[in-house]
Amino acid sequence: MTNPPHAVQWGACLPSGRGWGGEKERAPLIHTTWSGTRKLYHFSMNFLPFSVYVLGAVSFLTDLSSEMIYPLLPVFLTTVVGAGAVQLGIIEGVAESTASILKIVSGIWTDKVNKRKPFLLFGYTLSGLTRPLIGLANVWPVVLLLRFFDRTGKGLRTSPRDALIADVVDPARRGRAYGLHRAMDHAGAVLGPLVAIALISGWNLSLRQIFLAAAIPAVLVVILLAAGLKEPTLKTPAPRKIFLDVKSFSRLPSRFRVLMGGILIFTLGNSTDAFFLLRLSDAQIPPQGVAFLWSMHHVVKMLATYYGGRMADKVNRLKLLIFGWVYYGLIYLAFGLVKEANGAIWIFLLYGIYFGLTEPTEKALVSDYAPEDLRGTAFGIYHGIIGLAAFPASLIFGIIWKVYGAPAAFGLGAFLAGLASLVLIAGLGKAGENKI
C-alpha cells in the first residue's frame, strides 16, 4: 500500500539526532500529515542531547559549591588571613594560569585518546576535594596552594567538556547548547551566594565553616557524572602519539588563529572579577551585601547567556562578539570612574550582560573554526590563551590599582577591549570569516 500524497515519512524529514551517549540515532519512521510532522519537528528541536543537560546540572552544582566561597574570598583574605590586593592578584593569577596551561594539555590529550569522560571525572573530583579546604587556611600561601589544586581540576575538565558538547550537538544549535550550559553554570552561581548568606545570617556560621560546607554539592557532582554521563562515540580513530604534534597545530585554519589573537589581547585587560568585589567592598558594602550582589550578578549572567546563546545561532557571530567586547570596555570605563555605591551597584549588575554576548559566541566560533578531530585541541588553545593571559592581567591590574588607583586599572581593561575588537575587524571582518 502506498502513502497518500499528503503524508510524509517522519524519519525522512527529521535530521539525525544524537543519543544519550552521543552516538547518532535515526528518528523513528512513522507516517503523519505535513502539519503534524511540522509540529513534531519543532517540538523535537526544542530539546538538546541528554549529555548537554547532564553537563548543565554538573556545572550548576559545581558553581553552587564554588560560589559559596568565591564572593567571600577577598573578605576572607583581607580580614582573616591578612592579605591585600597584590596577594589577591597573585593568588588568582597563578590559579587561573595553572588552569589554562592544563586546559591546553587536556585538550590535546582528549583528542589523542578519543576520550572525554575520564578527564571530567578526575577534574571535578580534584576540585571538589580541595576547594572547601580553603576554610582551614591561616596564611595566604596555603590559600594559593589550594586554589592551585582547585584550578588544576578545572584545567583537566574544561576543554574535554566543551569538546564533548560540540561532539553531540549539530553546528546550527551549538550557540544554544553553550548558552544553556553557561546559563546552568550561572544558575548555580546565583544560588551559591544566597546559601552563603543564609548560613551567615540564619545559622551564624563563620567564613571557615561556610567554605567547608561547600563540599556537599561537590560530592553530588561526582555521583551525577559517574552515573549520568556516557562517553560519546567519536568517528576519528585515536592516534598513537599522545603529546604535542606540530602538524596538528598547522591544520588549524588562519581564521582560528586570528580569533585567538584577538582573545589574547582582550584577556590581558580582563582581570579577575574579584577586583569588582573589592571595589564594592571599598564602597562600604558589607560582606552579606557583596554576596547578595554577586548572586544578582549571576542572575543577569544566567539570563544573558541563555538568550545570548540563542542569538548566536541567529545573527552574525563575529559581529555579536565584537559588540560584546565594546560593551565590556564601556562598563570598565564606567566602573573605574563611579564613586558612589548606588552607581557601582548598577554598573556591576549591567556588567553581567557582557557574558551573554560573548561566552556562547566565542565557544560557537571555536567549534565552527576547528576541524572535527581537533576540537579538543582548539578548545585547549582557546582556554589556554585565556588562562595564560589571566596571570599578567590580574597581576598588572593589582599593581596599577595600588600605584595609580582603580580608574587607571579599569581604563587599561577598556583600552585593550577596544584594541582586540579592531584586531577581529581587520583580520576577519572583510572576508566574512564568521560564516558557519
- CA distances to 44, 59, 65, 417 from 310, rounded to whole Å, are 16, 19, 27, 24
Give 29 or 71, the one with higher predicted confidence.
71
Q: Which long-range contacts (CB under 8 A, 24 or more apart) does 7-10 make?
A: 7/31, 7/32, 7/33, 7/34, 8/32, 8/33, 8/34, 8/37, 10/37, 10/40
* Phi then psi dihedrals of residue 32, to 5 deg: -155, 165
DSSP states of 45-65: HT---HHHHHHHHHHHHHHHH
- CA distances to 148, 269, 331 from 348, rounded to whole Å, are 27, 17, 8
pLDDT at res. 163: 93
Instruction: Please report where in the chains the cell 595553572 appears, as a residue.
Output: 98
On whether residue 283 sits in a domain, the answer given is: yes
CA dist., res. 385 & res. 379, Å (int): 10
pLDDT band at 158 (very low <50, low <70, confident <90, very high): very high
On whether residue 204 sits in a domain, the answer given is: yes
Q: What percent of the chain has pLDDT over 70?
A: 84
Question: What is the SS3 assignment for 239?
Answer: coil
pLDDT band at 247 (very low <50, low <70, confident <90, very high): low
223-232, 277-286, 360-369, 382-391, range with greatest mean pLDDT: 360-369
| Torsional sign, CA 322, 323, 326, 328 | negative
pLDDT at res. 246: 60
On whether residue 232 sits in a domain, the answer given is: no
pLDDT at res. 430: 58
Q: Express each pLDDT in 87-124 by its tens digit.
A: 877 887 788 778 878 989 999 999 888 899 999 999 99
pLDDT at res. 22: 36
Q: Which three cell numbers stand for residue 166?
A: 560540540
Is the pLDDT at 35 greater than 60? The verdict is no
Task: Write out the residue range of the structural domain in which residue 142 sits.
Answer: 49-227+242-428
Cβ atoms of 178 and 360 within 8 Å: the answer is yes
On whether residue 15 sits in a domain, the answer given is: no
Is the pLDDT at 230 greater than 60? The verdict is yes
pLDDT band at 237 (very low <50, low <70, confident <90, very high): low
On whether residue 160 sits in a domain, the answer given is: yes
CA dist., res. 423 & res. 430, Å (int): 12
pLDDT band at 240 (very low <50, low <70, confident <90, very high): very low
Average pLDDT value for the chain: 82
Q: Express each pLDDT in 177-188 by its tens digit.
A: 999 999 999 898
Q: Are strands 24-25 and 17-18 parallel, antiparallel or unpaired?
A: antiparallel
pLDDT band at 388 (very low <50, low <70, confident <90, very high): confident
On whether residue 124 sits in a domain, the answer given is: yes
Helical spans, DSSP H, in 370-405: 375-404
Question: What is the SS3 assignment for 383?
Answer: helix
Give 26 or 243, the one with higher predicted confidence.
243
pLDDT at res. 38: 43
Query: Rounded to the nearest 5 degrees, what angle is found at the Cα of 109, between the Cα atoms of 104 and 110?
Result: 105
How many C-beta atoms surround the C-beta of residue 423 within 10 A? 18
Residue 193 belongs to domain with CATH number: 1.20.1250.20
pLDDT at res. 338: 86
What is this structure's pTM? 0.75
On whether residue 2 sits in a domain, the answer given is: no
On whether residue 406 sits in a domain, the answer given is: yes
Query: Rounded to the nearest 5 degrees, what angle is found at the Cα of 95, between the Cα atoms of 418 and 132?
Result: 130
Structural domains in the chain (count): 1
> If 0-12 CB within 10 Å is exposed, 13-18 middle and 19+ buried, where does residue 342 land?
exposed
